[in-house]
C-alpha cells in the first residue's frame, strides 16, 4: 500500500522504515530539509537499535523515499500518517498543536478525494474531531476522513515495538478507514497482535491514559522511597516485595530519579489541562501530584549530592554517568540526568558528563557542561560519582578500578540499579534514593579478618 509519514522524528522515522520493511511504499515528509537529505542517504537522525540497518535496507529497496513537500505527498498516496511533535505550550500545561494543525492545513489544498489522515501524534481528546471539521471546510478534499492511531513505541526499543507492538489501537469513523488500517497492519494482526478498533476520542484517550498510569506507578514508588528515607527502610526491597504481587507486577517500580523525556511529563500535563477544559479536571487532579513527586526527585538528588559533598558544591568535582532521559536513546528532552548535572554545575561544582550515545544532543542542550567520551575521564578526580541514566554499560564498570581514579569513592546511584554490594566491597560509599542504610562500604578482607580474630 502507498502512504506518507509526515514528521520524521523518533516516531515518524521508525514508523516509515518499518512500514516500508513490511512491504509498503512509503514517502517520509519533513520540513527539516537537512534531516530529509540525511534520511534520503539512508542516515538515521536518531539513535535507535536496529534503525540504521532498517533504513539502509528500505531506502536501497526503493520502497522508502523522502521529501519536504506535502503536495508531493498528497499526489503520492491517499493515506497520510501524521507524526509531528505535540510539545507543551510555552505559556501553559496544554499541548501545542501548531505542528499538527500546520500539517493538516498544508495537506488540505492538495488532498485527493477519499483520503485518510491518520494521526499518530499524542493529542488532547477531541483533536481528531476538530481536524475533521477543519478538513471538511477544505473544498479539494471531499470524503476525507481523520482517524487516530496512537503510537506506543518506547525509545530504546522503537523498531521492535513497531514491528511487534503489544496492541494496535485505531479510532475511526468508518468501516473503510478501519479496513485501510487493518490492511496496513496485516502482518502484525496475522501474528496475533491485539487490534482495538474504536472511535477517535477513545483512541486518543487510550494513549494518555496509558502514559498517566505508568507515570503514576513511577511516582508512587518514588513517594514510597521518600517515606523509606524518613523511616530508615529499604525501598528497593519494598518495590520487589510489592511487585511480586501479581496484581501489582514489578515493572515501573524502581525507586529512582523519576521519568523525563518528550512524552510522560508533557502528556500528563496536557491530559490534566484538557480534562479541565472538558469539565473533568477533578478526575485527574492526582496527575498534578504525580508530576510534583516526579520533579521533586530531581531536587532531592541535587540535595543529597550536596549533603554528600559536605554542604557545598563549590570547588568540588562531580562525575556524571548518563545524559539521555533513558537508556537506549540519544534523546535528552527533559532528561532528569541533565537537569541534575546542570543544577550541580550552576551551584558551583565542576561537572563532567559521560553518555554512550547522547553527548552530541546533550552538548547542544547544555553547552556549559563538560563532556567525556569515556567513564574514566568523566570520573577522574571526582569527589562524587552520580549514576543518572541506567545504561546497561554502567553495570559492567569495574568499581575497584574506578576507585583508583576518583578523589573520593562516593557513589550516588540515583537510578538504584548498580550492584551496591560489589561497589561497596570495592571501597565505595554507596547512596541511593530510598535506601538510607546503604552507604557504608563493605569491610575489607583485612577488616573482616581482624573482626573475626577479635571476636574469637
* Candidate residues 4, 10, 58, 215; the one interacting with ligand NAD per rule CB under 6 A: 10
Given the residues 18, 263, 379, 439, the one annotated as active site: 263
Instruction: Supply the DSSP string of 416-450, one letter for each residue.
Output: S-S-HHHHHHTT-EEE-TT-TT--SPPPPHHHHHH
CB of 95 to ligand NAD, least distance (A): 8
Distant-in-sequence, close-in-space partners of 108: CB < 8 Å, separation ≥ 6: 134, 135, 138, 140, 141
- Distance, in Å, from the CA atom of 330 to the CA atom of 343, rounded to the nearest integer, reads 21
Q: Compare residues 76 and 313 and give the one whose CB is closer to ligand NAD.
A: 76
When computed from its CA atoms, the radius of gyration of the chain, rounded to whole angstroms, is 25
Site string for ligand NAD, 61-100 (x = CB under 6 A): ----------------------xxxx------------x-
Q: Clarify whether 18 is annotated catalytic.
A: no
Contact region with ligand NAD (CB under 6 A), list: 26-34, 48-56, 132-140, 374-382? 26-34
CB of 151 to ligand NAD, least distance (A): 4
* Candidate residues 4, 79, 88, 121; the one interacting with ligand NAD per rule CB under 6 A: 121
Chain-centre distance for alpha carbon 247: 25
CB of 396 to ligand NAD, least distance (A): 26
CB of 343 to ligand NAD, least distance (A): 25
Q: What is the DSSP letter of 26?
A: E
Sheet hosting strand 64-67, strand order edge to edge:
64-67, 25-29, 2-6, 79-82, 116-119, 145-148, 168-171, 195-198
Q: Are 70 and 105 in contact (CB under 8 A)?
A: no
Q: Are 429 and 412 in contact (CB under 8 A)?
A: no
* Local structure of 112: helix, strand or coil: coil
- Distance, in Å, from the CA atom of 119 to the CA atom of 128, rounded to the nearest integer, reads 8
H or E stretch covering 19:
helix 10-21
103 binds ligand NAD (CB under 6 A): yes
* Candidate residues 21, 48, 145, 155; the one interacting with ligand NAD per rule CB under 6 A: 155
- Which residues between 258 and 317 bind ligand NAD (CB under 6 A)? 262-263
Please classify residue 424 by burial: count the beta carbons closer than 10 Å to its beta carbon, then call 0-12 exposed, 13-18 middle and 19+ buried. buried
Q: Compare residues 11 and 59 and give the one whose CB is closer to ligand NAD.
A: 11
148 binds ligand NAD (CB under 6 A): no
Q: Compare residues 7 and 322 and give the one whose CB is closer to ligand NAD.
A: 7
Distant-in-sequence, close-in-space partners of 372: CB < 8 Å, separation ≥ 6: 352, 353, 354, 378
How far CA 1 is from CA of 13, 22, 26, 123, in Å, comes to 18, 10, 8, 26
Q: What is the DSSP letter of 84?
A: -
330 binds ligand NAD (CB under 6 A): no
Q: Compare residues 21 and 330 and give the one whose CB is closer to ligand NAD.
A: 330
157 binds ligand NAD (CB under 6 A): no
Report the residue number whose CB is nearest to ligand NAD. 9
CB of 87 to ligand NAD, least distance (A): 8
If binding means CB under 6 A, how many residues of this protein chain bind ligand NAD?
26
CB of 141 to ligand NAD, least distance (A): 17
- Distance, in Å, from the CA atom of 32 to the CA atom of 23, rounded to the nearest integer, reads 26
Site string for ligand NAD, 28-67 (x = CB under 6 A): -xxxx--x--------------------------------
Q: Compare residues 9 and 258 and give the one whose CB is closer to ligand NAD.
A: 9
Binding interface with ligand NAD (CB under 6 A): 6-12, 29-32, 35, 83-86, 99, 102-103, 121-122, 151, 153, 155, 262-263
Indicate which residues carry an active-site annotation. Answer: 263
Amino acid at each position: 500500500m502507498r502512504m506518507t509519514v509526515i514528521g520524521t522524528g523518533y516516531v515518524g522515522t521508525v514508523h516509515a522504515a518499518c512500514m516500508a520493511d513490511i512491504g509498503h511504499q512509503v514517502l517520509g515528509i519533513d520540513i527539516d530539509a537537512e534531516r530529509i537529505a540525511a534520511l534520503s542517504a539512508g542516515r538515521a537522525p536518531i539513535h535507535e537499535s536496529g534503525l540504521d540497518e532498517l533504513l539502509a535496507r528500505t531506502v536501497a529497496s526503493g520502497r522508502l523515499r523522502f521529501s519536504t513537500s506535502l503536495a508531493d505527498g498528497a499526489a503520492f498516496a491517499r493515506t497520510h500518517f501524521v507524526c509531528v511533535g505535540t510539545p507543551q505550550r510555552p505559556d501553559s500545561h496544554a499541548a501545542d498543536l501548531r505542528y499538527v494543525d500546520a500539517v493538516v492545513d498544508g495537506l488540505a489544498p492538495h488532498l485527493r478525494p477519499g483520503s485518510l489522515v491518520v494521526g499518530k501524534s499524542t493529542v488532547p481528546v477531541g483533536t481528531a474531531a476538530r481536524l475533521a471539521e477543519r478538513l471538511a471546510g477544505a473544498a479539494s478534499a471531499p470524503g476525507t476522513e481523520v482517524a487516530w492511531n496512537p503510537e506506543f513505541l518506547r525509545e530504546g526499543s522503537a523498531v521492535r515495538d513497531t514491528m511487534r507492538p503489544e496492541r494496535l489501537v485505531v479510532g475511526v469513523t468508518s468501516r473503510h478507514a478501519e479496513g485501510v488500517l487493518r490492511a496496513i497492519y496485516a502482518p502484525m494482526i496475522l501474528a496475533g497482535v491485539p487490534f482495538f478498533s474504536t472511535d477517535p476520542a477513545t483512541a486518543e484517550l487510550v494513549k494518555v491514559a496509558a502514559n498517566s498510569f505508568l507515570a503514576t506507578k513511577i511516582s508512587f514508588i518514588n513517594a514510597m522511597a521518600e517515606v523509606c528515607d524518613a523511616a530508615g527502610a529499604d525501598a528497593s526491597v519494598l518495590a520487589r516485595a510489592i511487585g511480586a504481587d501479581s496484581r501489582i507486577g514489578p515493572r515501573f517500580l524502581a525507586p529512582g530519579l523519576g521519568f523525563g523525556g518528550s512524552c510522560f511529563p508533557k502528556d500528563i500535563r496536557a491530559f490534566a489541562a484538557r480534562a479541565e477544559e472538558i469539565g473533568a479536571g477533578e478526575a485527574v487532579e492526582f496527575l498534578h501530584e504525580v508530576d510534583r513527586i516526579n520533579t521533586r526527585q530531581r531536587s532531592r538528588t541535587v540535595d543529597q549530592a550536596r549533603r554528600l559533598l559536605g554542604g557545598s558544591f563549590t570547588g568540588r568535582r562531580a562525575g556524571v554517568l548518563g545524559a539521555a532521559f533513558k537508556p537506549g536513546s540519544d534523546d535528552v528532552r527533559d532528561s532528569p540526568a541533565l537537569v541534575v548535572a546542570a543544577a550541580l554545575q550552576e551551584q558551583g561544582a565542576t561537572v563532567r558528563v559521560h553518555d554512550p550515545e547522547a553527548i552530541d544532543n546533550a552538548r547542544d542542550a547544555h553547552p556549559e557542561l563538560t563532556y567525556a567520551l569515556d567513564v574514566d575521564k568523566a570520573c577522574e578526580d571526582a569527589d562524587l560519582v552520580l549514576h543518572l541514566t541506567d545504561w546497561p554499560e554502567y553495570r559492567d564498570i569495574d568499581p575497584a578500578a574506578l576507585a583508583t581514579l576518583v578523589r573520593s569513592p562516593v557513589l550516588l546511584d540515583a537510578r538504584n540499579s548498580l550492584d551496591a554490594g560489589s561497589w561497596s566491597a570495592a571501597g565505595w560509599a554507596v547512596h541511593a534514593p530510598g535506601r538510607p542504610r546503604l552507604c557504608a562500604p563493605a569491610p575489607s578482607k583485612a577488616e573482616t579478618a581482624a573482626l573475626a580474630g577479635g571476636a574469637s
